[in-house]
Amino acid sequence: MADALSTLYAALMVLSSMVSICGNLLLLVVLLLNKELQSDTLGLTLSFSLSDLALGLSTIPIGAYNSLFQPAGYSSKGAFCQGSGFIFLLLQTASLHSLTWATIYKFTEICFALSFNSIWTAGRSRVVLVVVWLFCLVSATMPLLGFGSYTYSESRFLCSPSFTLENRYFVLLWMGVGIIVPILTMCSLYGYIIYVARKQARRGTFMCNELHCFYVPASNYLRSSIVMVATSVCLLVCWLPYISVCLYETVSGQQSPAVTAAVSVWLVLTSAALNPWITCMTQTRYRAAVRRSFRSFIQRCPCSGMFLKSCSQSSALHLHATNRISTTTTSTTATRPPSSPKTPTPP
């Protein structure tokens, strides 16, 4: 049974790795090909996308490999374990904080539209990005300096922070500031945006451009509310089990069941796979950019060009044959002599 669970865990990790790599590469390509998406949040979007991509390329495959082969004598004090634990904590925290600040940007754009350009500038966006990565680097470096530690967990198949009583101060500090506060911030901002959207839907609004003003139906606001609710639920489902398990092990000093610990880590790493798809599929401008990029790729692809050329040639041949038939019919009708009228026979 343990071997079957390990194989299932490895299969889920491989699936999450593939989804994370494909989704984040798609998001990066769309950002690079569409300049209208390169706003002041480009740095934050690239930050969480590259962090999730690095998780899909490094940490998730390591977990899948360890669950399948279960290497013996995995030293927690070794350089590989300490380095992989550092990368796991750094990328995990950077992804969550970058996503949080991107949500703050969206909240400011919606709720403070008149003063948005003065509140959120390109310089402040760069400062936020630098502060986020400095905080993540300091948090990931603390266990290497003795405040906390990285150990190999046989139930999680990864090197991660040690959730024990001896390291409770580091775990509580990192969990509180690095994980819980960003998640609560995102859920609270989404909740307020939903409240504003429902309020606008009740009274109705008009939006104007250079040419005319048009009425925005309530369904638009309600649809965006559904998207934000789904995003918040997905975030909580991925992170709450991990937070609960880690705090339980840290406070009680007891190990949680192996299946529970493994599932909680897989859910957290799966959030790295879901983030780019949520960004691309739930925002209208990103969906439109994906469609434009896909059409451009189809047009530039040699196979599609040959296919379109053959289709155009067959259409031209069909049109030429049709023209020949119609021309022959017309010429035959024109050269045929008129028939003489029949003379009535005498009685």
**DSSP result, 234-272:** HHHHHHHHHHHHHHHHHHH--PPPHHHHHHHHHHHHHHH
Whether residue 175 is predicted with pLDDT greater than 90 in this model: the reply is yes
Q: How confident is the model at residue 90 (pLDDT cuts 50, 70, 90)?
A: very high
What pLDDT is attached to residue 44?
Answer: 84
Predicted pLDDT of residue 281: 65
301 lies in some domain: no
- What is the residue-averaged pLDDT of the chain? 78
Examine residue 300 and state whether it is found in any structural domain, yes or no. Answer: no
24-44 confidence digits (pLDDT tens): 888 888 888 777 777 767 788
Confidence label for 308 from pLDDT (cuts 50, 70 and 90): very low
Q: What is the CATH number of the domain that holds 33?
A: 1.20.1070.10
Greater pLDDT, 226 or 98: 98
Range of the domain at 243: 2-291
| Domain assignment of residue 333, yes or no | no
Does 306 map to a domain? no
Q: Is residue 296 part of a domain?
A: no
The answer to whether position 347 is within a domain reads no
Q: Evaluate whether residue 341 is within a structural domain.
A: no
> What is the predicted pLDDT for the residue at 201?
63
Q: Which of 90, 96, 94 is nearest to 161 (CA)?
A: 90
Alpha carbons 209 and 207: distance in angstroms, whole number: 7
User: How many Cβ atoms sit within 10 Å of the Cβ of residue 127?
Assistant: 11
SS3 150: strand
| CA distances, 335 to each of 322, 325, 326, 327, 328 (Å) | 20, 16, 14, 12, 11
**Which residue has 């998406």 as its token pair?**
37
Overall domain count for the chain: 1
The answer for residues whose C-beta is within 8 angstroms of residue 270's C-beta and 6 or more apart is 16, 238
- Here the tokens at position 167 are 């390291």
Whether the predicted pLDDT of 165 surpasses 50: yes
What's residue 343's pLDDT? 43
Question: Which range has the worst mean pLDDT, 6-20, 133-147, 204-218, 286-300?
Answer: 204-218
C-alpha distances in Å from residue 9, one per residue of 62, 69, 255, 259: 12, 12, 19, 9
Does pTM surpass 0.85? no
Asked if residue 325 belongs to a domain, the reply is no
Q: Taking 60 as the threshold, does the pLDDT of residue 231 lie above it?
A: yes
